[in-house]
């Protein structure tokens, strides 16, 4: 049985932990709001870009550009997976879910050559330790996210794809559903196959400069760029959401613990007082 | 197009970047650095889509002239609407002159030395970008 003093120490240590967790929760809430604003800001640009790309791509033939050319599944030999985790822990199952999903994806492509591109410290550390090929790591930028970061990643994957180093590029990340819900998503970035038929009258009578195919390549690259940018923003929002939820739960747990410990403390204290009174009383009895 | 309140012969300009809408207003004319050279757009231009290269974007509205340094992206013209999508656009007062100067020197040096393995296209783009920044900031 712990002594009174020990219980008191535990109460004070839980109290200070609670302070930390509740502060982290508030910080995450503020960051989450900012990150959500970024997502909203990115939307007009990506919508507009997608509109042009779609109508330009539907005007041209499917196999006109290597970035659009879908390979047969058996011809896919080498795959790059972009794994988006966080730089920090203390955000519940956020990183674990991504790592599990990635391992599953790797298992699904057993006979293929797989290289990982890790965004965020957690994924890189985990997969390097387990002997996976990590082509590149991008760390420590979620605090000051800039469009350059997504451009770097885009340049790396498109140039390796065009060189023929990879036949397919996948990305695994946490999609932001709501402040308390994240979904792990696996998506194919390249070859680009999400282009569905749309209203191709939009660009029907347009003049193009330079000619369509050259424009198409630039547009595809920009599209990928913005896709990755959105993934980074989504992931960083999801991370803050997950951290907020985790810290909220931790704060609740700490409250519960403090309550229990305080109760125990008072029990002990009263026991001690009763014992002392009994002692005094019985001594008095004896003396009389 | 269906906005009846809009004054006649004005272009509705919208500049969008990945971090938000940079500018949205009615203008008379713009001059932009297209991939095949500078071009101007006024009301009633043929529908037109082009990519842009680093250079100076001029916007004319009500006797005022505004300039910006712009680095890449696309211009879409649709009769009375013009939409510019770009990743980087800067007002003259936002240009970091010292950085642009350093970038120009670096690019010039790389182009002059003609070392093997130099990516000339990249150096050229960097030089254009730096020059556009400097030119804008001096006005």
Q: Report how far residue B49's alpha carbon sits from residue B81's, in angstroms, rounded to the nearest whole number.
A: 12
Does residue B83 sit at the A interface (CB-CB below 8 Å)? yes
Residue A95 shares a structural domain with residue A16:
no
ipTM rounded to 2 decimals: 0.80
CA B95, A155, A229: angle at the middle one, nearest 5? 70
Q: Name the pLDDT band for B139 (thresholds 50, 70, 90).
A: low
**C-alpha distance from A159 to closest chain B C-alpha (Å):** 14
Q: In this predicted structure, which of A1-5, A31-35, B4-8 has the lowest mean pLDDT?
A: B4-8
What mean pLDDT is predicted for residues A214-241? 90
Highest mean pLDDT among A107-111, A114-118, B44-48, B113-117: A114-118
Q: Between chains, do B16 and A48 touch, taking CB under 8 Å as contact?
A: yes
Q: Between chains, do A210 and B76 touch, taking CB under 8 Å as contact?
A: no
Asked if A50 and B85 count as a contact pair (C-beta separation under 8 A), the reply is no
Predicted model pTM: 0.85
Q: Which CATH architecture has domain B95-138?
A: Up-down Bundle (1.20)
CATH number at residue A47: 3.40.1380.10
Least CB–CB distance from A41: residue in B20, B36, B51: B20
Q: Report how far residue A256's alpha carbon sits from residue A148's, in angstroms, rounded to the nearest whole number.
A: 45
What mean pLDDT is predicted for residues A74-83? 89
Mutate to test the interface with B, among A49, A207, A209, A225 (most CBs of B within 10 A): A209
In chain B, residues with a C-beta closer than 8 Å to the C-beta of A205 are 46-47
In chain A, residues with a C-beta closer than 8 Å to the C-beta of B76 are 48, 52
Residue A17 shares a structural domain with residue A109:
no
Residue B63: HSE in the Cβ half-sphere, 13 Å Cα cutoff: 0
CATH classification code of B11-90: 2.60.15.10
Least Cα distance to B36 among A9, A209, A69, A198 occurs for: A209
Does residue B19 sit at the A interface (CB-CB below 8 Å)? yes
Above 50 in pLDDT, residue B2? Answer: no
| Token representation of residue A83 | 């794994």
Residue A105 shares a structural domain with residue A219:
yes
DSSP assignment of chain A equals: ---HHHHHHHHHHHHHHHHHHHHHHHHHHHHHHHHHHHHHHHHHHHHHHHHHHHHHHHHS-GGGSTTTPPPPGGG--EEEEEEE--SS--STTHHHHHHHHHHHHHHHTTTSEEEEEEESHHHHHHHHHTT--EEEEE-S-STT--HHHHHHHHHHHHHHHHHTS-SEEEEEEEEEEETTEEEEEEEEEES--------TTTTTT-EEES-HHHHHHHHHHHHHHHHHHHHHHHHHHHHHHHHHHHHHHHHHHHHHHHHHHHHHHHHHHHHHHHHHHHHHHHHHHHH-
**C-alpha distance from A129 to closest chain B C-alpha (Å):** 35
Q: Name the pLDDT band for A177 (thresholds 50, 70, 90).
A: confident
Above 90 in pLDDT, residue B22? Answer: yes
Residue A15 shares a structural domain with residue A63:
no
Residue A193, domain extent: 24-246
Least CB–CB distance from A147: residue in B21, B51, B87: B87
Strand A78-84, strand B29-34: pairing: unpaired
Does residue B125 sit at the A interface (CB-CB below 8 Å)? no
Cross-strand bridge partners of residue A168: A79
**C-alpha distance from B110 to closest chain A C-alpha (Å):** 22
Amino acid A196: pLDDT: 58
DSSP state of B134: H
B52: nearest CA partner in chain A: A209
| Token representation of residue B133 | 């920044």
Residue A128 shares a structural domain with residue A257:
no
Above 80 in pLDDT, residue A170? Answer: yes
Can you say whether the dihedral through the CA atoms of B97, B101, B103, B104 is positive or negative? positive
Residue A138 shares a structural domain with residue A170:
yes
Residue A223 shares a structural domain with residue A149:
yes
Amino acid A128: pLDDT: 92
Residue A101 shares a structural domain with residue A182:
yes
Q: Between chains, do A48 and B83 touch, taking CB under 8 Å as contact?
A: yes
Number of compact structural domains in chain A: 2
In chain B, residues with a C-beta closer than 8 Å to the C-beta of A225 are 87
| Domain spans of chain B, in order of start | 11-90, 95-138
Residue A143 shares a structural domain with residue A159:
yes
Amino acid A67: pLDDT: 82
Above 60 in pLDDT, residue A267? Answer: yes
Least CB–CB distance from A41: residue in B19, B48, B49: B19
Maximal C-alpha separation, chain A: 116
Q: Report how far residue B88's alpha carbon sits from residue B97's, in angstroms, rounded to the nearest whole number.
A: 16
Residue A94 shares a structural domain with residue A159:
yes
Does residue B23 sit at the A interface (CB-CB below 8 Å)? no
């Amino acid at each position: 049985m712990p002594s009174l003093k020990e219980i008191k120490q535990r109460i004070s240590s839980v109290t200070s932990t609670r302070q930390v967790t509740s502060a982290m929760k508030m910080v995450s809430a503020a960051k989450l709001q900012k990150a959500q604003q970024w997502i909203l800001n990115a939307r007009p640009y990506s919508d507009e870009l997608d509109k042009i790309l779609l109508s330009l791509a539907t005007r041209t033939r499917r196999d006109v550009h290597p970035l659009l050319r879908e390979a047969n599944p058996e011809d896919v030999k080498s795959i790059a997976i972009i794994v988006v985790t966080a730089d920090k822990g203390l955000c519940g199952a956020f990183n674990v879910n991504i790592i599990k999903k990635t391992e599953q994806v790797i298992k699904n492509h057993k006979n293929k050559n797989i290289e990982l591109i890790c965004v965020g410290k957690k994924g890189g550390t985990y997969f390097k330790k387990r002997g996976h090929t990590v082509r590149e790591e991008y760390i420590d930028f979620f605090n000051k996210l800039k469009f350059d970061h997504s451009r770097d990643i885009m340049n790396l994957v498109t140039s390796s794809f065009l060189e023929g180093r990879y036949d397919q590029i996948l990305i695994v990340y946490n999609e932001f559903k709501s402040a308390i819900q994240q979904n792990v998503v696996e998506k194919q970035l390249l070859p680009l196959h999400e282009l569905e038929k749309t209203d191709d009258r939009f660009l029907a009578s347009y003049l193009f400069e330079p000619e369509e195919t050259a424009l198409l390549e630039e547009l595809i690259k920009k599209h990928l760029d913005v896709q990755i940018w959105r993934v980074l923003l989504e992931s960083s929002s999801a991370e803050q959401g997950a951290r907020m939820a985790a810290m909220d739960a931790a704060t609740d747990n700490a409250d519960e613990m403090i309550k229990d410990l305080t109760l125990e403390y008072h029990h002990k204290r009263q026991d001690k007082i009763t014992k002392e009174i009994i002692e005094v009383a019985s001594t008095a009895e004896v003396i009389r | 197009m269906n906005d009846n309140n809009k004054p006649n012969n004005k272009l509705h300009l919208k500049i969008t970047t990945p971090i938000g809408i940079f500018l949205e207003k009615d203008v008379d004319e713009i001059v932009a650095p297209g991939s095949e050279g500078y071009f101007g757009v006024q009301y009633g231009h043929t529908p037109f889509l082009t990519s842009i290269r680093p250079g100076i974007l001029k916007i004319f509205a009500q006797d005022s002239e505004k300039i910006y340094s712009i680095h890449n992206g696309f211009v879409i013209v649709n009769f009375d609407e013009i939409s510019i999508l770009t990743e980087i656009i800067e007002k003259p007062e936002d240009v970091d002159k010292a950085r642009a100067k350093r970038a120009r020197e670096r690019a010039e040096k790389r182009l002059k030395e003609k070392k093997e393995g130099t990516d000339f296209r990249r150096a050229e783009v960097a030089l254009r970008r730096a020059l556009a920044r400097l030119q804008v900031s001096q006005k």
